[in-house]
Structures are given as structure tokens and as C-alpha cells.
Amino acid sequence: MKIIVPALMVAALLAGCTNKDKLTPFEGFYYRTKVAKVDKQLDVFTVTVRDASQSVEGARQAGEHAAISHCVRFYGTSDIEWTVGPDTPAEELRIVDDRLIFSGRCPQ
């Protein structure tokens, strides 16, 4: 019985955590991002940012942040060679189903 009570307390504390606890706001909004490798190449990737219509500028920042985190984690550098990225003109951005899609490569 003594072990069950602390375990239940920990479970209750963890249940209070939300996804937003793990997200960083950009332009006052939270964005879920996903980095995916292209053709099994870890250095070549796409970043998908959900709910881009909240703020395209915020979505740009969230996508850049996710890409930098990816490159730093796997290659130790924040340098990125963008195909479509945060500096791409608005009319050339890829937004599909309210998702902003960046693509780039971590230089090795």
C-alpha cells in the first residue's frame, strides 16, 4: 500500500502535463512540428508545421527552430542549406492543408 500511494501521486502529476508544456510559442501561438528524413538520408529533411494559418511568421519561426534542432542534434551545427525555408518569399512557400512545409539539408 505504501508503494501505491506515491505511484498514484506521480501518475496524477504527469496527467496534468499537456503537449503545450513541451512546446515553445512563436508569435504567441503554439505549433506542432515534424522533421522527416528524405530518401533515408538523415542530412536531407523536410519540416512540417501544423496550423500555419495562426501566423505564417510564427510557423516560419517554429519550422526554423525544428530544423536547427535537428541539424544540431545529428551534425553539431546550426547551418542549413534551405531549398524552401524561413527566408523564402511568401508567394513561394509551400502551405498544404494548413501545414507549412520546409525542406533543406544539414551540411556535413
Question: 1-60: per-residue pLDDT in tens?
Answer: 455 544 444 444 444 444 555 678 999 999 999 999 999 999 999 999 999 999 999 999
d(CA 40, CA 7): 41
CA distance linking residue 72 with residue 4, whole number of Å: 41
Q: Is the dihedral of CA 92, 28, 47, 105 positive or negative?
A: positive
User: Interior CA angle at 25 toward 19 and 28, to 5°?
Assistant: 125
Task: Output the nine-digit C-alpha cell for 100.
Answer: 507549412
Other CB atoms within 10 Å distance of the CB of residue 63: 27
Return the residue matching grid coordinates 504567441: 28
- Answer with the residue of higher pLDDT: 73 or 24: 73
Task: Give strand pairing partners of 48.
Answer: 34, 101
Residue 94 confidence (pLDDT) above 90: yes
